[in-house]
Structure formats: C-alpha cells, structure tokens
Amino acid sequence: MNQRHISYGIEPEALAVYQALVQEHGSPLLVISRHKLVGQYRALTRQLPGVSLYYAIKALPNPEVIRILAEQGCHFDVASAGEIELLQPQLISGRKTIHTHPIKKDRDIRAALRGGSTTFVVDNIDELKKLRAYRHRVGVLLRVSFRSASAAVDLSRKFGCSPDQVEDIVLQSRELGVHIRGLSFHVGSQSLDPQAHVDAIRLCGGLINQINQGSVNPMNLLDIGGGFPVDYACENPDMDAYFTAIRAALYELPEDIDLIAEPGRFLVAPAVTGISTITGKARRGDYQWYYLDDGIYGSYSGQLFDHVQYPLQITSNDLAREPSILSGPTCDSIDIIAEDILLPEMREGDLVVGHMMGAYTAATATRFNSLDCAKIILQD
C-alpha cells in the first residue's frame, strides 16, 4: 500500500469550482474530467504504439467514461453480461470487445456471443470444453500466470495456467477442435518495476514461437493485460523509463503478433476527483475526529478492496496542525478514511478532496446504511 499524500490548501479558483459543483449537484461527488481521461488514453497510445487498448470496464463501469473512450477509438474488456449491457445503449459493437473472465457459465458465454463478443479467455481444459460447442464462432486466448512479488495486487494467484502447462493445453485444444489464438497474462497492478511485464512478454513470445513451429494454425495474438501504475503517492515516477522497457520487450516479438492491452486503472484513476464534505466533528481523546459524507463503504472502498491510499487535499493550509482522524459516514467503526494524520482545524461544511479516485472506487461502493453512493458527474 502506498504512503498517503496530503496537500494543504486549495487554489482559490479550484476551490470555487469544487464549491460550485457541490452547490449544483450536492455532496459527495465523483467528478470525471474528460480532458484528463482523454489525456491518459492518448498518453498510453503514445507509450504503447501498435498495441490495441481494451478498457477494463470493471475499473469504473460508467457510461460517460465508456462513451468518451469509444470516441477516442478505445476497445473494451468485459467480464460479465452486465458489462456487455453497459456497451449496448451506446451502440458499441461487440467486435470491439474481448471477454476476459477465465471462468464462465454457459449462460455467460451465450450472453457474450449474443452481445457480439466472440473472443474469450480460458486458463484450463475444462473451461475450453465449455467453448467447444461454439468453436467455430469464438476466438480463444489462454491466460498464463506469472507471480509478481512487487505488485500491490497479485492477479496471478486466482487465474492463469503456469507457463509449463501451455503446450499441453494447446495440444489438447487441437484435439477438441478449439483454436487457441494467443496468450494473455496479468502480472498484477501498481508495480513501478516493469520487469514483471518484460519477463512475461519474453516468456509468452518464446512460448508462442515454440508452439507455432510446425503448427498449421499459428497463434497470432498476445494480450499483455493491464496493471500499468498510476501515481497515488505523488512521487512523479519515471513513466517513460517504465514504458520504454515494455516497448523494448514488445519489439523483440515476431512482427506478425497482434498486441492488445487491458488498461483500467491507468486510464481512469487520474481522471476522477472525489469531493466530500465535513458533516460533523468531535474531540475524542488525543484526536480530532472529522466525519465526512463519503467513506470506506462508498467511494473510498478501494482503500479496503484495492489497497490504495488516495491523495487527499484539504482547504486550509494553516500550519497549526494536530493529530486527526477522517471518518466515513456509516455507523461501522472500520469506516475510517485516514487516521493519525496531522490536520489544521477544519469546520463543518469544509470540503475534503480525494484525487486519483477513478479506479475501483465507485465500482466497489456499497449502499450500506442505505446511504446513496456519490453522484458521478462529467466536467470539461
């Protein structure tokens, strides 16, 4: 988990904007910046030229985000029938999707096919057998797992076959008459070290080369997953160096391999700002408690599920600070956003701003205590 970054004081112009938004829409809010979202998409297309981007809808399943990314030419990574349904009102063709959940019911497969989503991911023979009835309609990717010691979220424990199983599964798939089009992997999320990605790309490239030797039906696709890090700790990491290493590894692959990636967090995290309001305060022991109208059961759910500490910004830059606790609105004692932090005295009605709150925030928010989730609005 990253170190919490707190900034004190808000530029008057920015504060006026936040206040006007709360005035108009109420609090709490999650504000999507179209400008930043498009900026992230374009940055990633620049960093990964030749890689088709499939936005992982689960990070923020929001219609506006989907619309804006679709306008930019982005494709979509879906993992459920519900996610496919989010694309349909916007008339986004199923041809622009890939279904990435490795474990599916027959009903899920049929719903995906009906939505026009024909590329599926599997990681074992039993799942491959489920696709046998649809083998002339579908394209199949085999998910390979690579354990990453440095990633904040290890995605290789739950899904993926080991690299040494790949050849055997491919052989069995041929017997079943189901063609495996390529490999996919997820090395985990939020690691600033590109080595896991680089190793996985090289290993998959080697596996594809090996399997394609003498194969009449070669693999032609590598899905490098997502997990590209964003800067929750406000440390300005060298993203150019990170992506340069990944590009170099991709460059070593045979030219005829199509590349896709499934960014979620990278696209949406920096594009969303959370605005909440102090609804009450109390002095308890050595601590000053502040109660906000958003918390762990709401937009800050990612602190629990996603192991992220969002950068916070408060209105006052007063240097007189005391140990404080920022609490969420529910009755549960775990609903604490930040404790043991130094804060200047704040007043009821003051705003607390959370930055980088696009990914796995609203997506995992609950309505515990029958509290409404933060309203999501689009700006600029």
Partner 1 sequence: MKEFTETLYDACGQTFRIDKLYFEHKTDHQHLMIFHNSFLGRVMTLDGVVQTTERDEFIYHEMMAHVPLLAHGHACRVLIIGGGDGGMLREVLKHPLVEQATMVEIDQQVIEMAKQFLPNHSSGAFDDARADIVIADGMDFVRGSSERFDVIISDSTDPIGPGEVLFSSDFYAYSSKLLNPGGVMVAQNGVPFFQLDEVRTTRQKMGAQFSDQTFYSAAVPTYYGGIMTFAWGSDTPALRRHDLNVIIERYRRAHLTTRYYTPQIHQASFVLPKYIEDALATEPG
Radius of gyration of the chain from Cα atoms?
Answer: 22
Sketch the per residue contact string, 266 through 305, with partner 1: x for CB under 8 A, - otherwise: ----------------------------------------
3-state SS string for 328-339:
CCCCCCCCEEEE
Non-local (6+) Cβ contacts of 115 within 8 A are: 78, 81, 84, 85, 87, 88, 94, 97
Sketch the per residue contact string, 150 through 189, with partner 1: x for CB under 8 A, - otherwise: -----------------------------x-x--------
Q: Is 376 in the site for partner 1 (CB under 8 A)?
A: no
Segment contacting partner 1 (CB under 8 A): 6-14, 133-141, 194-202, 359-367?
133-141
For partner 1, the closer CB: 113 or 259: 113
| Selection from 107, 110, 127, 126 nearest residue 118 by Cα | 110
For partner 1, the closer CB: 180 or 356: 180
Q: Is 114 in the site for partner 1 (CB under 8 A)?
A: yes
Segment contacting partner 1 (CB under 8 A): 93-101, 257-265, 335-343, 352-360?
93-101
Tokens of 205: 């490239």
Segment contacting partner 1 (CB under 8 A): 18-26, 132-140, 225-233, 310-318?
132-140
User: Shortest distance, CB of residue 134 to partner 1, whole angstroms?
Assistant: 8
Give the Cα separation of 67 and 243 in Å (integer).
26
Q: Is 107 in the site for partner 1 (CB under 8 A)?
A: no
- 99 DSSP β-pair partners: 78, 120
Q: Is 9 in the site for partner 1 (CB under 8 A)?
A: no
Q: Is 138 in the site for partner 1 (CB under 8 A)?
A: yes
Q: Tell which one of 89, 206, 254, 323 touches partner 1 (CB under 8 A).
A: 89
User: Shortest distance, CB of residue 64 to partner 1, whole angstroms?
Assistant: 17
Q: Is 91 in the site for partner 1 (CB under 8 A)?
A: yes
- Whether 331 sits among the annotated catalytic residues: the reply is yes
- 139 DSSP β-pair partners: 119
Alpha helices in the chain (DSSP H): 12-25, 34-47, 63-71, 81-87, 106-114, 125-130, 166-176, 195-212, 239-251, 265-268, 302-305
Give the Cα separation of 203 and 277 in Å (integer).
49
Residue 57, CA distances (Å) to 87, 186, 210, 234 in order: 10, 16, 33, 25
Give the Cα separation of 195 and 41 in Å (integer).
23
Task: Determine the residue type at 355.
Answer: H
Q: Tell which one of 116, 163, 218, 344 touches partner 1 (CB under 8 A).
A: 116
For partner 1, the closer CB: 132 or 158: 132
The sign one gets for the Cα dihedral 265, 270, 271, 274 is: positive
For partner 1, the closer CB: 9 or 89: 89
Give the Cα separation of 358 and 272 in Å (integer).
5
Q: Tell which one of 132, 158, 347, 367 touches partner 1 (CB under 8 A).
A: 132
Q: Is 367 in the site for partner 1 (CB under 8 A)?
A: no
Give the Cα separation of 254 and 250 in Å (integer).
9
Segment contacting partner 1 (CB under 8 A): 35-43, 117-125, 240-248, 306-314?
117-125
Non-local (6+) Cβ contacts of 178 within 8 A are: 128, 131, 132, 135, 138, 140
User: Shortest distance, CB of residue 105 to partner 1, whole angstroms?
Assistant: 14
Cis peptide preceding 28, ω within 30 of 0: yes
Tokens of 370: 């029958």
Q: Is 139 in the site for partner 1 (CB under 8 A)?
A: yes
Sketch the per residue contact string, 334 through 363, with partner 1: x for CB under 8 A, - otherwise: ------------------------------
Q: Is 118 in the site for partner 1 (CB under 8 A)?
A: yes
C-beta of residue 69 within 8 angstroms of C-beta of residue 41:
yes
Q: Is 95 in the site for partner 1 (CB under 8 A)?
A: yes
User: Shortest distance, CB of residue 177 to partner 1, whole angstroms?
Assistant: 9
Give the Cα separation of 243 and 137 in Å (integer).
35
Tokens of 158: 């739950």
Residues that bind partner 1 (CB under 8 A): 85, 88-89, 91, 93-95, 110, 113-119, 132-133, 136-139, 179, 181
Active site members: 331
